[in-house]
Structure 1
Amino acid sequence: MRLCCRYFVWPSWYEWKKVNSLAQKLQNLGKPRILVVGDLILDRYVWGEVERISPEAPIPVLFAQRQEARLGGAGSVVSNLKALGAEALIFGIVGADEPARRFLSIMKGLGLLTRGIVKEPSRPTTQKTRFIARVQHILRVDEEVVSCLSEKIETKILSRLKKELSGSSALLLSDYNKGLLSPGVCRKIIATARKANLPVLVDPARIRDYSKYKGAYLVTPNREEAALASGLELADKAGKSIVANLEKAGAKFITELKLAACAVTLHDQGIFLKRKGKKGQIFPTRPRAAYDVTGAGDMVLAMLGATVAAGFSLEDAVTLANIAGGLEVERIGVVPLTRQEILAELAGSPAHETRKVKSRTELKGLLTEHRRRGERIVFTNGCFDVLHAGHIKFLHFARSQGDVLVLGLNSDASVRKIKGPGRPIYTQNERAQMLSALADVDYVVIFGEPTPEKLIQAVKPDVLVKGEDWKEKGVVGRKFVETYGGKVILAPLVQGLSSSDIIRRARKKEKS
């Protein structure tokens, strides 16, 4: 299921230069040390299929097929920072229970430090369990206690935090309103950070009163949170711009909280940045397939924290946070993004779509994520030398058989073996670039073997598509695909169109 489409934009010289500059800065980000204080949440996912309605009540029956646990809340922020290459240290509380054990086990497995975490036996670890049918969330169950912590626990956390200030470059507050970041604790943390000359970036709770964040460097509410705290209408209304109210909300936060800036995330519209003494600006985002907004705010905070800590301008930091948050919503649940993934997105935006060209190793991880969403993988292959209308219709048909289309593209050497000397007309890189610009194609993988058998085995598609002309020849990979219940579908051909015929006609006209 796709909720919106991608589009192709050819960059101006200025845009190209700016993108290259940003990519270079991100490449040289280094390893800033960042402290994160916030609510620790264990995110659990139960994946399955819904095939019927319960006879006991008008509710769907989920046939559970797989379960998974991930770091949520401030845990999501530190896992994102780790993936971006930063050194992150987290401060928060967990209970003395099984969810706590799983949370700490995941942290250690990711190589994250746990010495800032305090155990509180009288309080359960916050846990959210999401039930998902393919890509559709059908229920969430929360297990939590949100009362304020005892003074003893607060003192423990603040004491551990003070020991880690030296050598750090920024401090992030991830507030889910679960009791840790009380007004008193927030004020003490911000005052302590300011004395150490650390910028404090806050992902605020959904509350009306932001006074506990006074003195921070930056707050990053989403549109609904900003509307609640400012008392201003920030929802989209037909024919009515919200920029003026965003400007007012940003100015209100900056003035009342003594901030340097405010960044309001606007979902598919991007991020509104308001700096002290300057006019606000919306940094637009690209249309994306939005599957799940869970963790997008954590990703934005992590990217802003990493880039501000490294000395980036707020404009550059927000641009990168926009990209990171956008990529995060394309995933189901809280899944960290690496610096390499952001760089790959920069390489393809706003220029061409060559980021669709993947190695087999890269493709393996991507397809794992698509399968986690419950999406059907379709595979086809060919030379695609001299792209024509028949190819376009064929690929559209192939794409309609599932959710993700992987295209195996013959290398230049293999095309010469198949088509003879003088072919291909276009190099493998040129063909890959043209195919990548097609909306129906999700990934392109170049292969050099005589047949795509090994590539098919690596992809393990749910559906294998070939043209009807392969009916008598025998479809390569059919036996393998059918062993695990996959389907082989033959696509109708467009009569009178072939690359070889087009090339022959062109050469004939050239001679005449």
Structure 2
Amino acid sequence: MKRNTSCLSAIPPNTLVPYLRRFSRGHVLVIGDLMLDHYIWGAVSRISPEAPVPIVHVERESLRLGGAANVYNNVLSLGGQAEVCGVIGDDETGKLLLKELGSQRRLPPGIVLDASRPTTRKARIVAHSQQVVRYDVEQRQDISQSIARRILKHVDTRLNAISCIVISDYAKGVITPSLMEHVGRLARSRNIPIIVDPKVDHFPFYAGVTVITPNHTEAQQAAGLSGHDHDAIHDIGHLLRQKLGCEAVLVTRGEQGMSLCESHGSSLHIPTMARQVYDVTGAGDTVVSTLALAMSVGASIQDASILANYAAGVVVGQVGTASITRAQLKEAIQHSHE
């Protein structure tokens, strides 16, 4: 494969900041797996006499939105308009998740109650800013056809209002081949872009979407290729793009930044903007939400990817699932050029 790769040189803030001022016009619909992130914060001073494990003295607990709910929260935090579609169980975790979403009295449109499954909860015990253990409560089987139809019916009613769709796929059962096929058809009928934060086993589901945002490991596994340098990522990204028939593949590469592979055969390598990395939890949510919101207000895929890279650089410097504000993103852009 002929390679046409380039590395990003500095882009002046006056090219990117105007998009931020337009974020309030963007309207993103997030479809995917709703999760509640439960953090137990504490300190370790000794090892248990019962087993070779640390004893964590709990100091506080906190709840944060995770998965598709975190993407939704990031879009709002950036000043955009957002809606979310997904499934919760008839349980206490579901009630807590709705409370975090700001909806305590009734089920929001687009969120379906399924009493046959628990609401996904990821609990992390953190001591001295390091994860000690994580435990998950979840059910991964596909949602029923009747629940999928309810989600699709809601999506159909929102097409006139939204400017972009995000598929936040954590393989917890919401994103199925049938649902993706129908969402794709609905979006194409209105020329609405679809951005996907993917799972490897579900890659065949995403044919015809606008952009997918796999991390480096996911991209390698999906493509069946290996390699870490720019040329290898170019080959991996373009193989995935051709397989899926999408416009672009944005590969997130941790400390090496991101690589954008577009339909004209070129690749752009974007260096990381992170100053310190404390926790990558939720960074993919931040990338896809920033990318979608920027594209909603007219940014090219390339400019939107650069903005998403700045946003990721901010959130990985925070511990726990995090969101970013428009002011923080603007400061990060401007600070990088001082």
- Bin for the TM-score computed over the shorter chain: over 0.9
2:74 to 52, 75, 80: 80
Q: Indicate the residue corresponding to 2:211 in structure 1.
A: 218
1:98 aligns with 2:85: no
Q: Find the aligned partners of 2:22 and 2:155 in 1 and give their Cα distance.
A: 28
One-letter code of the match for 1:249? Answer: I
1:279 aligns with 2:266: yes
Q: Indicate the residue corresponding to 1:206 in structure 2.
A: 200
Q: Indicate the residue corresponding to 2:4 in structure 1.
A: none
Q: Find the aligned partners of 1:290 and 1:69 in 2 and give their Cα distance.
A: 22
Q: Find the aligned partners of 1:21 and 1:277 in 2 and give their Cα distance.
A: 23
Correspondence 1:45-56 to 2 at 5 A = 45-56=39-50
State the number of aligned residues: 328
Runs of 4+ in 1 over 4 A off after TM superposition: none
Q: Indicate the residue corresponding to 2:237 in structure 1.
A: 250
For residues 380-427 of structure 1, give each alpha carbon's deviation from its aligned partner in whole angstroms, at most 9, with x where no partner exists: xxxxxxxxxxxxxxxxxxxxxxxxxxxxxxxxxxxxxxxxxxxxxxxx
1:21 Cα offset (Å): 2.3
Structure 2: state its 5+ residue gaps: 1-8
Q: Indicate the residue corresponding to 1:300 in structure 2.
A: 287
Aligned residue for 1:25, secondary structure, equals helix
Q: Indicate the residue corresponding to 2:158 in structure 1.
A: 164
Q: Find the aligned partners of 1:212 and 1:287 in 2 and give their Cα distance.
A: 32
1:109 Cα offset (Å): 6.5
1:15 Cα offset (Å): 4.3
Aligned residue for 2:50, secondary structure, equals coil
Aligned 8 A contact 1:27 1:343 in 2: no
Q: Indicate the residue corresponding to 2:337 in structure 1.
A: 350
One-letter code of the match for 2:219? Answer: A
Aligned residue for 1:274, secondary structure, equals strand
1:270 aligns with 2:257: yes
Q: Indicate the residue corresponding to 2:300 in structure 1.
A: 313
For residues 441-484 of structure 1, give each alpha carbon's deviation from its aligned partner in whole angstroms, at most 9, with x where no partner exists: xxxxxxxxxxxxxxxxxxxxxxxxxxxxxxxxxxxxxxxxxxxx
One-letter code of the match for 2:156? Answer: K
One-letter code of the match for 1:194? Answer: R
Change in CA separation of 1:74 and 1:287 when aligned onto 2, cut-off 3 Å: closer
Bigger Rg, structure 1 or 2: 1
2:321 to 334, 337, 341: 334
Name the TM-score, length of structure 1 as normaliser. 0.62
One-letter code of the match for 1:317? Answer: A
RMSD: 1.5
Aligned residue for 1:108, secondary structure, equals coil
1:191 aligns with 2:185: yes
Q: Find the aligned partners of 2:274 and 2:293 in 1 and give their Cα distance.
A: 25
Q: Find the aligned partners of 2:274 and 2:164 in 1 and give their Cα distance.
A: 31
For residues 179-209 of structure 1, give each alpha carbon's deviation from its aligned partner in whole angstroms, at most 9, with x where no partner exists: 11011111111111111210000000132x5
Aligned residue for 1:317, secondary structure, equals helix
For residues 350-391 of structure 1, give each alpha carbon's deviation from its aligned partner in whole angstroms, at most 9, with x where no partner exists: 21xxxxxxxxxxxxxxxxxxxxxxxxxxxxxxxxxxxxxxxx
1:70 aligns with 2:64: yes
Aligned 8 A contact 1:175 1:205 in 2: yes
1:232 to 217, 225, 232: 225
1:28 Cα offset (Å): 3.2
Q: Find the aligned partners of 1:290 and 1:195 in 2 and give their Cα distance.
A: 41
1:24 Cα offset (Å): 2.6
1:134 to 120, 128, 138: 128
Name the TM-score, length of structure 2 as normaliser. 0.94
Aligned 8 A contact 1:191 1:215 in 2: no
Higher percent of residues as strand:
2
Q: Find the aligned partners of 2:205 and 2:116 in 1 and give their Cα distance.
A: 26
Q: Find the aligned partners of 2:66 and 2:219 in 1 and give their Cα distance.
A: 22
Aligned 8 A contact 2:91 2:119 in 1: yes
For residues 8-61 of structure 1, give each alpha carbon's deviation from its aligned partner in whole angstroms, at most 9, with x where no partner exists: xxxxxx947x22221233223332111110000010000000000000000000
Q: Indicate the residue corresponding to 2:30 in structure 1.
A: 36
